[in-house]
Amino acid sequence: MSQDIFANASLFLPEEPQSLDDLDISKSMIEALILKTVAARSTMTAGDLADFIDLPYFNVVEPVIEQLREAKMLDVMRGGLQAHSYLLAITDLGRDKASAFYDQSAYIGPAPVSIDVYAESVRSQTIRSIQINRRRLSSAFEGLILEEEILKQIGPATNSGQSMFLYGPPGNGKTSVAERIVEAFGGGIFIPHAIEVNGAIIRLFDEYNHLPLTEEEDIRLTQRYDKRWRLIQRPVIIVGGELTMESLDLIWSDSSRFYEAPFQMKANGGCFMIDDFGRQRMDPRELLNRWIVPLEKKVDFLTLHTGIKVAMLFDTLLVISTNLDPKDLVDEAFLRRLRYKIPITNPSPENFKKIWQLESGIKGIPFSDEVVDYFIRKHIQPTGRNLRGCLPRDILALVLDQCRYHQTQPTISPDLIDFAANAYFVDFESTPK
């Protein structure tokens, strides 16, 4: 490359290529994208084609189109005052060439970036360069009520950029903790839509897991930049019992002949959370062993379907959470490999009331100390149930359902509490045999 596209590492912005020489991928890769795209559309204007593959028309796409025209693979069906308005059509020779490219990969879309350029972008935007202080963490966790002792442990664990093991009863906010940690890092990161490695394409951008930012949210989008990249919120990718070992490697499709990036790669620059640890269809030790090399070396080795290993940077905060007893999952030697072990405990009665009050405000239901005391006295203490952080949200949602059904203003009363509790809790002893 003739220019340093990472000149400003403190605020990463991928520079727009000014010519073919500025690109980090081969001209044949662009030819393949152009021919496959026009073949799929029958006809297409030159400007629309450039926009579709996210490359500048002048000095980048235009010279490739001209070479394909000279090679009798593209025709101009209709001209215009400007070259980018030319209507392009594919010739029989071009269609044959597109078919050969298609046999190698059916990928059509934004042009990829090289794996080396992607790796440099990950280094430039690493979460490990961001230090979280108490004020910043408290701001990110505002509105999430946790015991103070939990926050004291989360701060240093977050700054470590290593691994975190959250354990404790269900319903106390382990998933919310992971989301707020990434919020504390703040800012957006650029990721490419796709990556080229050894001639193969890996699709990285995922509309489900990656949330794009707008110009109002990040001023970088008002500047000229390489449109092959997407500016997103730092990702939080959460997987649970559905996780398999296969989904942690490059996912190859025989029909499309390109790869989908695995979860942990999509989480680079953010947080990858394995929820419900111990409920996957694999031995917990096997899953923990999977992370030994990435955690120690910051590199994850992925496998192409040809058997070739590819070194991919691992720059994500790995959070593993479970509702099960850690002693039943792994032994002490395995737990030592996880840097921080943080219990997410049941809320104290005082914090339980704070959560109830917060949820009351969210749902527009009047808050009453007496009603909360009634709920604890009637439906928690006699049954030996524990207070859970999720209970106020869930019980008040049921109360709100009842009010809507009777077309009354949201309110609270012992009768409504009884209705909600009876609908929510299951009394196994009274269940008909």
pLDDT of 341-377, one tens digit each?
899 999 999 999 999 999 999 999 999 999 999 999 9
Q: What is the mean pLDDT of the chain?
A: 90
Q: Say yes or no to pLDDT of 263 above 70.
A: yes
Q: Say yes or no to pLDDT of 18 above 70.
A: yes
**The amino acid at 392:** P
- Verdict on whether the full-model pTM lies above 0.75: yes
Query: How confident is the model over 25-63, as pLDDT tens digits?
Result: 999 999 999 999 999 998 899 999 999 999 999 999 999
Q: Say yes or no to pLDDT of 331 above 90.
A: no
Pairing of strands 236-239, 271-274: parallel
- Host H or E run for residue 138: helix 134-140
Query: How confident is the model over 126-161, as pLDDT tens digits?
Result: 988 888 888 888 888 888 898 888 888 888 888 877
Name the residue among 156, 166, 165 with its Cα closest to residue 132: 156
For tokens 């080229």, name the residue: 196
Name the residue among 229, 164, 198 with its Cα closest to residue 13: 229
Q: Where does the pLDDT of residue 124 fall: very low under 50, low under 70, confident under 90, or very high at 90 and above?
A: very high
Residue 6 is predicted with a pLDDT of: 39
Cβ pair 121, 190 in contact under 8 A: yes
